[in-house]
Structure 1
């Protein structure tokens, strides 16, 4: 059954989602705000419906009262492709930070380039950080929050990578709040896995973290502590299994 569900979803992505992103790429007559509203409504009515009713992956949000009323930097775990689409359904108007090479992907990348987005050259070092701040502040001035995955790449649930400082640097430069987010999408939608497994994704939105007048290092550390603490609180079984696996490797 899991395989059949995943096949149907893959056909949807091939026959409907990718052509739609191609249409977005040529929607020159729309303003950025109009295009964003159109795409997010379509995403809610189709892709989110497929997530819940075909893949059997609904979601539940904890901490909706912490949703920002003004542009903020959203720092979140990155475990799968789920959050790159679902966050548009959860958060207020938001742009993503993404690596520039994604824009070269036929259809998907072309459509992404027409949306509010912060693109960076990950090999650029300090230039990449400058790109995040400059592009991010410009989008925030237009009313968009900015979603940053501080670990930089998808990580399996129960694991952690180093939190990069770009998102916190943007928040300090913009004088806005950071909204920390934990979730367990990787439990059902694993990285590069064709077969998705049904289950409820829990998204926990933390209290705003003030960034104005602070160092990026302090803001980043506070966001990391909340996110990782919330991951351990909500999904302790994943960390226990990882610890057991590491212990087994150490004994062998």
Structure 2
């Protein structure tokens, strides 16, 4: 049964993704927040999350929403175990953008869709120049009311894996003088990294208190995020 559900998910993705990528291309002249609502809030993301819940049987619950009260657009520093959280975070948080390598922009349909939702593309080979450009664009996105999602592990990790966090999220939080909001979840238990099979169940998403960069170095900010996220993931999985 799980196999059939998983196949239906991919069928839905294959049907809906090209449609919304074309829609996204047509609405590029519209303001960024309106494009986001069309493609994400009321469009592709919401439809795919419906498929995930009602066909794959994967639901979710959110803890710690009170920690977002009074927080202006900031950095979302999230655990990364699957593709699930790239969709679910859009349902949990206010409008947001992702940071992605520029090569993804050239993938037919997928890359067009990323461009539609104001993704921040970076050239990893450009070094300091790429960082400065990323910070400039990120500041503009924050001023436009978008939160910025960063996965500190740099790639998807399996549940229980011990991975050193990169300092990019802390660097951005300090450079732009905004808080870093840690997010833990156990999506990997139901949406495994190296498997196409989805397992029904309820994913827990936990939002921590903002970590403010004032007077802290990169290591201190990164270590604080790492300690909270990993400790919270361990608690969720018990």
Question: TM class, shorter-chain normalised?
Answer: over 0.9
Highest Rg: 1 or 2? Answer: 1
Task: Indicate the SS of the match to 1:12.
Answer: helix
Please name the residue that 1:202 is paired with. 204
Distance 1:231 1:45 in 2: 25
Please name the residue that 2:24 is paired with. 24
What are the superposed Cα offsets for residues 12-54 of structure 1, whole Å, 9 maximum, x if unpaired? 0111223212321232332111101112221454111111001
Please name the residue that 1:248 is paired with. none
What are the superposed Cα offsets for residues 126-185 of structure 1, whole Å, 9 maximum, x if unpaired? 444334322211211111110000110011111132211111111111111110000011
Count matched residues: 236
Distance 1:212 1:192 in 2: 39
Distance 2:136 2:111 in 1: 21
Say whether the 8 Å CA contact 1:72–1:177 is kept in structure 2.
yes
What are the residue-to-residue correspondences of 1:1-252 with 2, within 5 Å?
Answer: 1-39=1-39, 40-43=41-44, 45-67=46-68, 69-236=71-238
Distance 1:43 1:57 in 2: 17
Distance 1:134 1:165 in 2: 18
Say whether the 8 Å CA contact 1:132–1:166 is kept in structure 2.
no
**The 10-residue stretch of structure 1 (12-21 or 130-139) with the greater mean CA deviation from structure 2:** 130-139
TM-score (norm: length of structure 1): 0.88
Distance 1:158 1:19 in 2: 37
Task: Indicate the SS of the match to 1:219.
Answer: helix
Query: Please, what is the CA RMSD of the aligned residues?
Result: 1.6
* Unmatched tracts of structure 1, length 5 or more: 237-252
Say whether the 8 Å CA contact 1:129–1:166 is kept in structure 2.
no
Please name the residue that 1:239 is paired with. none
Say whether the 8 Å CA contact 2:173–2:180 is kept in structure 1.
yes
Shift of 1:215: 1.8
What are the superposed Cα offsets for residues 66-109 of structure 1, whole Å, 9 maximum, x if unpaired? 12631111101111111111111100111111121111111011
TM-score (norm: length of structure 2): 0.93
